Amino acid sequence: MSPDMPTPTAPLQLSRADMQALGERALAMVIDHFESVRSKHTTTTMSREEAVRLLHTPPPESPTPASELLETLASTVFENAFRADHPRFYAFVPSPSNFVSAVGDFLMSGHNVFAGHWLASSAASQIELTVLEWLRAACGLPETASGIFVSGGSMANLSAIVVARETRLGGHDPASVVYYSDQTHSSMSKGLRVLGFSQRQRRAVVTDADMRLDVDALAAAIAEDRANGLRPFCVVANAGTTNTGAVDPLHALADLCAREGLWLHVDGAYGAAAVLHPRGAAALDGLGRADSITLDPHKWLFQPFELGCLLVRDARLMKLAFRVEEDDHADYLADISRHIQDDVNFFERGIQLTRSFKVLKLWLSMRAFGLAEFRRGIGVGFELADVAHAWLIESGKWEIVTPSQMGIVTFRWRGVGLSAHQIDALTARIVDRLRENGYATVMSTLLHGRPALRLCPIHPAATREELTATLELLTGFAEAGAGELLTRL
């Protein structure tokens, strides 16, 4: 090409000025979101027809100005969402994010670091190892432990079972059995199904009155299965159930697993992060006896989606489970493997080969804020669940179904003069009224076969005043609904 010919622009490239302009607009949108989220409704949903009308297009052969697309996103996608990062979003497991971590995600994808092996991402791998080390120590696991960051709790739980199965059973065994409580998150049985465990290999054991796994019932199930020629190999304990925050008896389960030679996996996707706080550490006593732990920073560690973590007591076992073998024909990885014998290659600790440097956001926010600030943030969830519990009792109108524990309280309208059936219908109606109102989001769950309202106020910017205002709203909806039911009698 002659030098005076204009240089053709390579595909998909932007000038510095264009990158700057687009970046500034996107940054302003995110800052606006952080500043305005509290003034918005907690949930806004668009109808399918409207979504199709506004967003469905044919494949875009020709370009649209990116600034125009950002405006479309601002008025549709970001306006119509379950705002799980809203300080008055008390449903499910809220996902209170933070701005520093959002910057971390931007840096991660902007630099597109391949975090699959040491050669590609030595410093990034070190950061991942360092954060794993912080979490390992916090959970009370020995120095042999380490792990990997994954997309979330579902993937961490599934990966834990892979490690347990490969190293305890030497692979798939149709006689093997995994035990967990009937309060265990659905991701566990789903993961087991994906891994080929049939229904008889997945044993949901009953819980006691406090929704904790019944250790005697578990021991009996294990004995029965052994007598029937099955091969028990793994128990999954909860470190904070999604439903009620219940923590299974970790010491008793660790003792049982030691006696029976079983792998103990602890699903702490929701609750294990609370170990950083003294109240969490006390509630989670025994956590460090697990063979593996799931802990989701995108829940009670205030990270944007997606960030889950698997910790394994003996980290070498992960490589046994996820190694790439000769007959996997990964010949193009031979040079990598030759160079990295002694270093950590995250593709040998989990399912993914290509993986992003997703822990960057956690490292950045933990370093930038300091752990004391995280501890303060976690404390808000404990305190506000207590506040709600006390308010509900004080009102005299609500029954506590499960007490404030690990940042969750569940409750039901007392409803003098109403049948259990009517109160159950009223519970659903209260949820709907609050959703229509939009001030806050509270949902119900089923406990001992009956619906109950469930509050999980773990946003670090959640306030006592707004929580109380929400409880007053719920009370108003309950009184109105109960009044209508009684006049119909």
Ligand X SMILES: Cc1ncc(COP(=O)(O)O)c(C=O)c1O
Residues that bind ligand X (CB under 6 A): 93, 152-154, 157, 185, 187, 242, 267, 269-270, 296, 308
**Closest Cα partner for 295 from 132, 127, 89?**
132
Smallest separation (angstroms) from ligand X to the CB of 400: 21
Residues 6 or more apart in contact with residue 421 via CB below 8 angstroms? none
Q: Around Cβ 450, how many Cβ atoms within 10 Å?
A: 15
Of the pair 125, 159, the CB lying nearest ligand X is at 159
Smallest separation (angstroms) from ligand X to the CB of 159: 11
Smallest separation (angstroms) from ligand X to the CB of 152: 3
**Closest Cα partner for 161 from 74, 265, 56, 298?**
265
Q: Is residue 97 a contact partner of residue 369, using CB atoms and an 8 Å limit?
A: no
Smallest separation (angstroms) from ligand X to the CB of 308: 5
Of the pair 160, 434, the CB lying nearest ligand X is at 160
Q: Around Cβ 341, how many Cβ atoms within 10 Å?
A: 8
Distance CA 352, CA 212 (A): 34
Q: Around Cβ 400, how many Cβ atoms within 10 Å?
A: 15
Of the pair 273, 418, the CB lying nearest ligand X is at 273
Question: What DSSP string runs through 369-428?
Answer: H-HHHHHHHHHHHHHHHHHHHHHHHHHSSEEEEEEEETTEEEEEE--TT--HHHHHHHHH
Distance CA 430, CA 412 (A): 10
Smallest separation (angstroms) from ligand X to the CB of 392: 23
Q: What's phi and psi for 228, nearest 5 deg?
A: -90, 10
Smallest separation (angstroms) from ligand X to the CB of 267: 5
Tokens in use for 84? 């799980």
Of the pair 154, 345, the CB lying nearest ligand X is at 154
Of the pair 240, 451, the CB lying nearest ligand X is at 240
Of the pair 232, 271, the CB lying nearest ligand X is at 271
Smallest separation (angstroms) from ligand X to the CB of 334: 34
Smallest separation (angstroms) from ligand X to the CB of 473: 25
Smallest separation (angstroms) from ligand X to the CB of 346: 19
Q: What's phi and psi for 365, nearest 5 deg?
A: -75, -35
Smallest separation (angstroms) from ligand X to the CB of 445: 12
Residue 63 CA, chain-centre distance (Å), reads 37
Distance CA 330, CA 251 (A): 42
Distance CA 165, CA 181 (A): 19
Dihedral, 198, 199, 203, 205 alpha carbons, nearest 10: 160
Of the pair 303, 345, the CB lying nearest ligand X is at 303
Of the pair 104, 153, the CB lying nearest ligand X is at 153
266 burial via Cβ count (<10 Å: 0-12, 13-18, 19+): buried
Q: Around Cβ 429, how many Cβ atoms within 10 Å?
A: 17
Of the pair 92, 369, the CB lying nearest ligand X is at 92
Of the pair 222, 272, the CB lying nearest ligand X is at 272
